Amino acid sequence: MRVLLTGAAGFIGSRIDLRLAERGHEVVRLDAYLPMAHGPGARDAAPADVHLLDLRDATEAQLDAVLGGIDVVCHQAAMVGNGVDAQDLPDYAAHNDLGTARLLAAMARVGVDRLVLASSMVVYGDGRYDCPEHGDVPPAVRREDDLAAGRFDPRCPVCGGDVTWRRVTEDAPIRPRTSYAASKIAQEYFADAWCTLQSGRAVALRYHNVYGPGMPADTPYSGVAAIFRSALERGEAPRVFEDGRQVRDFVHVDDVALANALAVETVAGHPVGVTPYNVASGRPFTIGDMARVLSRAVDGPEPVVTGDARVFDVRHVLASPDKAAEGLGFRAEIAPEDGIARLATDPLRRR
Ligand code: UD1
């Protein structure tokens, strides 16, 4: 198939590029080479076979031209991270939502009716919990006095009692908590509108915590695995927030690339509309354990548990990987303990 890959030069996009080519697809690459992600001079040094376009301001003629003869669009171009403060809101909206809307409008003009969209587990907010008395509940926002007293687990919103986490399935309620999360769910909603108008088919891949070679090194927008890895490189101990028992699902970038290739190949067999899938290893890992595995792999200093808590952080987000196994034939191949140990020495991307 001929696939337009946006964000082709990014951490995830570049691994999807390899995987699609390996599976015999023809990849047409588009990337804006944003200085924020690639450094100030990167645009001038970009490879000649990449369409250097920013979806926010590319002309209609430019977008229509790159879409010529395309079977499927695999849309990875995005501004990532949790956001630093409210001043980030317009940039998330412009890159992720205006950019996607312009891409979808161009697909409609040219007649491309299949889309694979990079979405995120952040659309679920603080995951899913069970209260022994009130069943399946959204967790209450964590109270400042609880956090200050070292109680990091959320409470039942009805009785204030203890809750236990459960895996999120794709039908879990949508509760974006950050600018980034809002922009990712808006992408899914724009794609859904496009599907209705164009009889389009889209698969939204809700990535959990992606890590692996080529991860951007320590920036204000980096995920925790890169932050810990960069600290170890400087000979410093990883600084683990809360009590280190917060849980995530770490999924290797090569597994994410595989999920994308499978989605590209199967999106035509999906119903009209957006079908979301969790892209996850299905193997819970605490942040404290992740720091320890990384540290041990390089004989580095023991992680320090700081007790700090960030207001926007969620406590536990675990995915059910079952729907992706059924609908895409995707099962993560790399166990987090192996991939994370390798991350200790994997090359990182530097701006
Ligand atoms: C991360 C990404 C988010 C992405 C999501 C799913 C970032 C900043 N966040 O969200 O964009 O959509 O995965 O792929 O890229 N922590 C520490 N020490 C630190 C930094 C963080 O202990 O120095 C802890 C945090 O308190 C949190 C956990 O690590 O509990 C994960 O943090 P982080 O990687 O920033 O964000 P996620 O919410 O997991």
pLDDT tens for 45-87 read 899 999 999 999 999 999 999 999 999 999 999 999 877 789 9
Mean pLDDT score of the chain: 94
Find the angle CA(202)-CA(106)-CA(253) to the nearest 5 degrees: 45
pLDDT score for 130: 94
Confidence class of residue 35 from pLDDT cuts 50, 70 and 90?
confident
Q: Please state which of the ranges 40-44, 163-167, 211-215 shows the lowest mean pLDDT.
A: 40-44
Q: Which residues line ligand 1 (CB under 6 A)?
A: 80-82, 120-122, 180, 207-210, 221-224, 227, 239-242, 246, 248, 287, 310, 313-314
User: Is pLDDT of 340 > 80?
Assistant: yes
CA of 224 to the centre of ligand 1 (A): 5
pLDDT score for 220: 65
Whole-Å CA distances, 280 to 19, 59, 168, 275, 286 = 18, 36, 11, 16, 15
Atom 20, ligand 1: which residue's CA is nearest? 224
Atom 29, ligand 1: which residue's CA is nearest? 224
Q: Is 319 in contact with 308 (CB distance < 8 Å)?
A: no
Q: State residue 304 phi and psi, 5-degree precision.
A: -105, 130
pLDDT digits (tens, 9 = 90+) for 130-162: 999 999 988 888 888 999 999 999 999 999 999
Strands (E), the chain: 2-6, 26-31, 50-52, 72-75, 114-120, 128-131, 135-137, 164-166, 201-207, 209-211, 239-240, 247-252, 273-279, 284-286, 304-305
Which ligand 1 atom lies nearest to the CA of residue 306?
22
Report the CATH number of the 2-127+168-344 domain. Answer: 3.40.50.720
pLDDT score for 281: 96
pLDDT score for 217: 85
pLDDT score for 350: 80
pLDDT digits (tens, 9 = 90+) for 210-220: 999 999 886 76
- H or E segment to which residue 63 belongs: helix 60-66
Per-residue pLDDT, averaged over 253-278, amounts to 98
CA 220 to chain centre: 16
Dist CA 177 CA 35 (whole Å): 26
Dist CA 61 CA 65 (whole Å): 6
Which ligand 1 atom lies nearest to the CA of residue 184?
12
User: Is pLDDT of 222 > 90?
Assistant: no
CA of 69 to the centre of ligand 1 (A): 38
Three-state secondary structure call for residue 289: helix
Q: What is the DSSP string of 133-151?
A: TTEEEPPPPPPHHHHHTT-
CA of 223 to the centre of ligand 1 (A): 5
